[in-house]
Amino acid sequence: SVWLKRSKITNQTGDVQGVIESRADSNDNCGIIFNTDDTLLVKLKIGGTNAKLITNRVFRDVSAWYHIVVAVDTTQSTSSNRAKLYINGSQETSFSTETYPTQDGDTLFNNTNQHEIGDMLYSGTTNFDGYMAEVNFVDGTQLTPTSFGETKNGVWIPKKYTGSYGT
């Protein structure tokens, strides 16, 4: 879960903007990235097998805070339940690319590989340009956005996470 506000959209800079990435090597990496067309990519590459969710929706409002939750549970028998993307409390369901992790696969998030917040681990201009708050990594549980936010007066706002972070 992360709350973020963009300062520049990627088509102004011509480069992707990494929100977070964990990488073992070029075959094994996971990340949340704003693409050059301002869509959002959730990448869960495991052993050369790509799992990707790329939104149809674009994120170009530099005055708005976005709450992004990526919830992964690869033990689920239904592939679309293995990775879920939520934006501002609602599940995102419109994707230009929609491929899911293999059942029982391990991602690189929350393990011993290096993690980069606000950038990506390979060379190039991939810095996130904006603000981030309330970055939470929870291991072992596929949570919903209500663990991190709530609606008050019709607006989705942050709330303190009070659960366990797992291992």
70-79 confidence digits (pLDDT tens) = 999 989 999 9
Among 12-16, 131-135, 143-147, 158-162, the range scoring the smallest mean pLDDT is: 12-16
Write down the pLDDT at residue 121: 63
Write down the pLDDT at residue 48: 62
User: Smallest Cα–Cα separation from 92: which of 153, 51, 30, 145?
Assistant: 145
Neighbours of 48 (CB within 10 A): 8
> How many whole angstroms separate alpha carbon 39 and alpha carbon 88?
15
Mean pLDDT of 7-27: 78
Q: What is the pLDDT of residues 20-72, one digit of tens each?
A: 888 777 667 788 999 989 999 999 877 667 789 999 999 999 999 999 999 99
Instruction: Identify whether the C-beta of residue 108 lies closer than 8 Å to the C-beta of residue 116.
Output: no
Helix spans in the chain (H): 10-13
